[in-house]
Amino acid sequence: MRLNSMSSATSSSVTLPLPLYSVPGRSSRLWSTRGRIGRIRYCSRLAAVGLIYNLALFLPLYLDYLYPATLTQSTFTILFYAYAGLYSVFTLFAILQAKRRLNDQGRSGWVLLLGLIPLINVWLVITLVFSRGTPGSNPFGPPPSPSTSSETKRFWCLLILNIAVASAAICYGPLQFHLGL
pLDDT digits (tens, 9 = 90+) for 78-96: 888 888 999 999 999 999 9
Q: How many domains does the chain have?
A: 1
Classified as helix, coil or strand, 141 is strand
Residue 15 within a domain: no
Q: What is the mean pLDDT of the chain?
A: 80
Which residues, including other chains, have CB under 8 Å from residue 40's CB and lie 6 or more apart?
147, 151, 152, 155
pLDDT at 34: 86
- The whole-model pTM stands at 0.74
Residue 3's Cβ-side half-sphere holds a number of Cα atoms within 13 Å equal to 5
pLDDT at 53: 87
Residue 71 reports pLDDT greater than 50: yes
Residue 25 within a domain: no
Residue 64 lies in domain: 33-179
| 165-177 confidence digits (pLDDT tens) | 888 877 765 555 5
Neighbours of 99 (CB within 10 A): 21
For residue 13, which amino acid is it?
S
Residue 4 within a domain: no
pLDDT at 96: 94
Q: Predicted confidence band at 58 (pLDDT cuts at 50, 70, 90)?
A: confident
Residue 99 within a domain: yes
Residue 76 within a domain: yes
Measured distance between the N- and C-terminal CA atoms of the chain, rounded to whole angstroms: 77
Residue 23 within a domain: no
CB 57 within 8 A of CB 71: no
β-bridge mates for residue 141, sequence order: 138
For residue 55, which amino acid is it?
L
Q: Is 153 left (phi over 0), alpha (psi -120 to 50) or beta?
A: alpha
DSSP classification of residue 144: P
pLDDT at 13: 56
Residue 28 within a domain: no
Neighbours of 32 (CB within 10 A): 14
Residue 16 within a domain: no
Give the burial class of 88: count Cβ atoms within 10 A of its Cβ; 0-12 exposed, 13-18 middle, 19 or more buried: exposed
